[in-house]
Amino acid sequence: MTDPSLSGAHVLVTGGAGFLGSALCETLLAGGARVTCVDDESTGTVANLASAVADPGLRVVVTDVADLDLATARGDHGRVDVVLHLAATASPVHYLRMPEHTLRSGSAGTLRALEVAAADDARFVLASTSEVYGDAEVSPQPEAYWGNVNPIGPRAVYDESKRFSEAAAFAFRRSRGVDVGVVRIFNTYGPRMGLDDGRVVPTFLAQAWRGEPLTVQGDGAQTRSFCYVDDTVRALVAMATADEPGPVNVGNPHELTMLELAERVLSVTGSRSEIVHVDLPQDDPARRCPDISRARETLGWKPEVDLEDGLARTATWVRDQISVPVPPRG
């Protein structure tokens, strides 16, 4: 998967050593961009970029984006043409463990990334999240919906950090003319996700391969809409080259319950694991499904990888990480 539309451009990717960020960096490099990856490795790892480290177009800066200065952002690549701000603590396990760090990334980190974009007259793309909608009272969620977020609950450190990030982006657009674009990402999944980060796809897959019970939270009737990583990367690149401020929803509008997802995981792995129910976390959204009309109209984007294919690719990667044999079928 390559995209030549940013060939020759200097693209700064914050959070570039994470699951999504590393896939984005690889795509940008394949398309001829010069890439500066900024990551503090609090949740990501530079090892995710192993296939790209020999590329002369890649620079890796290990630092907190909130501490990034303009000279370091430019480095040998010079002025920055595009800032893709992905740095965030998206995993429930991690943001509950690091609440202050999560808030700092979304506030001071976003302001610093915006300062870099303003200084170099660069396009600024914010990877926001469907979590800004909270426990949505409408479904599917359109961008015009303002959300239903508990600002003091345990999830708020992530939800509100992204809401602040969006507000900051549009403040810089109004006050300083920064060319911003905001995408709201819905449940991206794929290889390189942390197996212990609490997100449901890698959790279910790891449990299935190990023969452990699949732990469905609550009654399992809550829904999510899963978008494969390659599709999300295409949307981010499209936003980087578009004349569109957003916000724009990026996700797969195919909605399914957590019980249905568990059954799909059992099918794709051939596992005989049982399904058990555990307590539902506080403020867990009942429904999550994107209205992607705006993405289709403004970015010419829609997801292309169906869930069966995406789960199969991810399942193979998870199996390799935990080194278990393929179970016999039948």
* Whether the predicted pLDDT of 326 surpasses 60: no
Q: What's the pLDDT band for 325 if we cut at 50, 70, 90? A: low
- pLDDT tens digits along 77-130: 999 999 999 998 777 777 778 889 899 999 999 999 999 999 999 999 999 999
pTM above 0.85, yes or no: yes
Is 228 catalytic? The answer is no
**Where is average pLDDT lowest: 31-35, 240-244, 286-290?**
286-290
- What torsion do the CA atoms of 263, 267, 271, 273 make, to the nearest 10 degrees? 10
DSSP states of 255-272 as a string? EEEHHHHHHHHHHHHT--
Give the mean pLDDT of 279-307: 93
* Whether the predicted pLDDT of 330 surpasses 60: no
* 3-state SS, one letter per residue, for 45-105: CHHHHCCCCCCCCEEEEECCHHHCCHHHHHHHHCCCCEEEECCCCCCHHHHHHCHHHHHHH
Q: Which of 95, 133, 145, 158 is catalytic?
A: 158
The angle formed by the CA atoms of residues 241, 246 and 251, to the nearest 5 degrees, is: 85
**3-class DSSP state for residue 190?**
coil
Q: Are 246 and 239 within 8 A, CB to CB?
A: yes
Q: What is the CA radius of gyration of the chain?
A: 19
Residues 6+ apart with CB under 8 A from 40: 62, 63, 64, 65, 87
Q: State the number of CA atoms in the 13 A half-sphere of 205 facing the CB.
A: 29
Which residue in this structure is represented by tokens 């909608």?
Answer: 133
- pLDDT tens digits along 234-249: 999 999 999 999 999 9
The angle formed by the CA atoms of residues 15, 95 and 61, to the nearest 5 degrees, is: 20
CATH code, 4-192+228-253+284-304? 3.40.50.720
- pLDDT tens digits along 165-221: 999 999 999 999 999 999 999 999 999 988 887 889 999 999 999 999 999 999 999
- pLDDT tens digits along 42-63: 888 899 999 998 899 999 999 9
Domain ranges of the chain: 4-192+228-253+284-304
Q: Which of 143, 181, 160, 91 is nearest to 290 (CA)?
A: 143
* Whether the predicted pLDDT of 273 surpasses 80: yes
